Each structure stands twice: as structure tokens, then as C-alpha cells.
């Protein structure tokens, strides 16, 4: 990141924001969008590229969901696994996101890897994973992370911070007494995609976009289950 003058030296916030560099990644190798039969291997290749380029926390993504009244909600979380079935993430069924997904499983995951100038958008529906998958995910967390997950009334108002400390301490004690304990609300979800878009920045603003989508019932011609389209930038 080049040296940028502090915000106070700009006329207004707008001017400061305009001065911040964006899409600074250098051009990618020509074959970087070479399509694979399904989106999963291409995603993994891109994720490997992001890791190799030192992109911080490339496994973090924005999960978008909707509320009952149609309002959109979104938050960052961690990608737990990827395979041909879909993109896995986890959290509490009692959290707002858990309730939103139960009411409407339509969801999207958005990855942005600035260091390599790439974005991936995964859209589809979230399926609750099988109980052993959720249990394994929970048990792989640290004791503290398990205790917080078990104790937390996530996203509710915390009136008294001492209440949090008490609840987590009790939860740690329960886990230490029974290390195999799995919080009943912990859930792994699989975002089963119907569309996955790969977006590649170009220094000359001729960005490249490749979208995979599952054909509708009438199309029925794809051998892999996916159709690819190049999109206008």
C-alpha cells in the first residue's frame, strides 16, 4: 500500500476515498480463468493462488441471507470446506443467520482477494449438514471457541459483560468435564450453488468474468451439470 495522506489533509471524505488505491493487483497469468468442468476445482485453484500470494485470511467470506420481510443481512464468516456438493460454513442455528436460513435457505457467499484482484460469488441454497459433520466441526474448535459457541446468545443485547464471563466459564467447566460434548445449536451448512462467478481484475479495467450456472430443467444438455458463460465486465 503506497503512503496515503491522512484523511484530515483531504477536502472531504469523498476526496480521501477517491485517493485510496483500488484493484492494484498486477495482471494475472493468461490461463487463470481456464474453465474446469465444475466450479469447485477452479475455486480451489484460485484459493491456492490467494494463499500463495499471501492474501490475509482468504478463507473468510461474506455470507448474505434474507430476513422474513425480505431485508438482506450479511456478515463475514469462515469457509470450513469445499467440495462438489458445495461450500461449507458453520454457526449457531439460534443466531439471526441460523433463523434466517431456516426460513429461507437462499444465500450467497462472496470472497474478495485484493492481493490477487479476484472475487468469487457463490449463490444457491444452504442445506443443514448431517449431525456428525456439525459435531466434527464443533469439536475441532478450541475449548474457548467451543465454550463461547455453547454459551453465547449470539447477537442478542449483552446488558452485563459479567454475564458473558460467567456463562463462558460455566461452559468451559462443562467441556472440561465432558470433552466430547457438542453444543446442540452448532450447525454446519453446505451452500449448494446454482451459480458461481469468477471475477478477475484487469489493470486496464477490462475485467474478466466467468459464470457457472446449473441449467434449468429444459436445457438438459450439459454433461457436467454446469453451463459456463463469459459476462460483460
Ligand X SMILES: Cc1cc2nc3c(=O)[nH]c(=O)nc-3n(C[C@H](O)[C@H](O)[C@H](O)COP(=O)(O)O)c2cc1C
Nearer to ligand X, 110 or 155 (CB): 155
Q: What's the CA gap between 37 and 153, in Å, rounded?
A: 42
- Asked if 119 interacts with ligand X (CB under 6 A), we say no
Residue nearest to ligand X (CB): 91
DSSP 94-155: TSHHHHHHHH--EEEEEEEEGGGTEEEEEEEEEEEPPHHHHHHHHHTS-HHHHHHHHH--TT
Nearer to ligand X, 77 or 135 (CB): 77
Segment 75 to 104, residues that bind ligand X, using CB under 6 A: 75-78, 90-91, 95-97
- Least Cα distance to 175 among 144, 153, 200 occurs for 144
Least gap, CB of 101 to ligand X (angstroms) = 9
Terminal C-alpha separation, the chain: 25
The residue range among 13-21, 73-81, 110-118, 156-164 that interacts with ligand X, by the rule CB under 6 A, is 73-81
Least gap, CB of 29 to ligand X (angstroms) = 29
Instruction: Find all residues with CB under 8 Å of 14, minimum gap 6, and list them.
Output: none
Least gap, CB of 179 to ligand X (angstroms) = 21
Say whether 7 sits in a helix, a strand or coil. helix
Segment 24 to 63, residues that bind ligand X, using CB under 6 A: 60
Interface pattern 123-142 for ligand X (x via CB under 6 A): --------------------
Instruction: List residues binding ligand X (CB under 6 A).
Output: 60, 73, 75-78, 90-91, 95-97, 154-155
Amino acid at each position: 500500500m503506497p503512503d496515503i495522506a491522512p484523511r484530515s489533509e483531504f477536502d472531504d471524505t469523498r476526496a480521501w476515498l477517491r485517493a485510496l488505491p483500488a484493484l492494484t493487483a498486477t495482471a494475472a497469468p493468461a490461463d487463470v480463468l481456464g474453465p474446469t468442468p465444475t466450479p469447485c476445482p477452479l475455486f480451489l485453484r484460485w484459493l491456492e493462488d490467494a494463499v500463495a500470494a499471501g492474501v490475509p485470511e482468504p478463507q473468510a467470506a461474506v455470507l448474505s441471507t434474507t430476513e422474513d420481510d425480505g431485508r438482506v443481512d450479511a456478515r463475514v464468516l469462515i469457509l470450513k470446506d469445499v467440495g462438489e456438493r458445495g461450500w461449507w460454513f458453520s454457526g449457531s442455528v439460534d443466531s439471526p443467520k441460523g433463523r434466517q436460513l431456516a426460513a429461507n435457505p437462499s444465500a450467497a457467499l462472496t470472497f474478495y482477494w485484493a492481493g490477487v484482484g479476484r472475487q468469487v460469488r457463490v449463490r444457491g441454497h444452504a442445506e443443514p449438514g448431517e449431525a456428525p459433520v456439525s459435531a466434527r466441526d464443533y469439536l475441532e474448535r478450541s475449548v474457548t471457541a467451543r465454550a463461547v459457541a455453547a454459551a453465547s446468545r449470539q447477537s442478542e443485547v449483552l446488558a452485563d459483560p459479567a454475564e458473558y464471563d460467567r456463562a463462558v466459564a460455566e461452559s468451559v467447566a462443562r467441556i472440561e468435564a465432558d470433552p466430547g460434548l457438542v453444543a446442540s445449536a452448532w450447525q454446519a451448512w453446505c451452500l449448494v450453488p446454482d451459480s458461481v462467478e469468477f471475477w478477475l481484475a484487469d489493470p486496464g479495467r477490462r475485467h474478466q468474468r466467468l459464470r457457472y450456472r446449473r441449467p434449468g430443467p429444459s436445457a438438459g444438455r450439459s454433461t457436467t451439470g454446469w453451463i459456463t458463460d463469459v459476462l460483460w465486465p
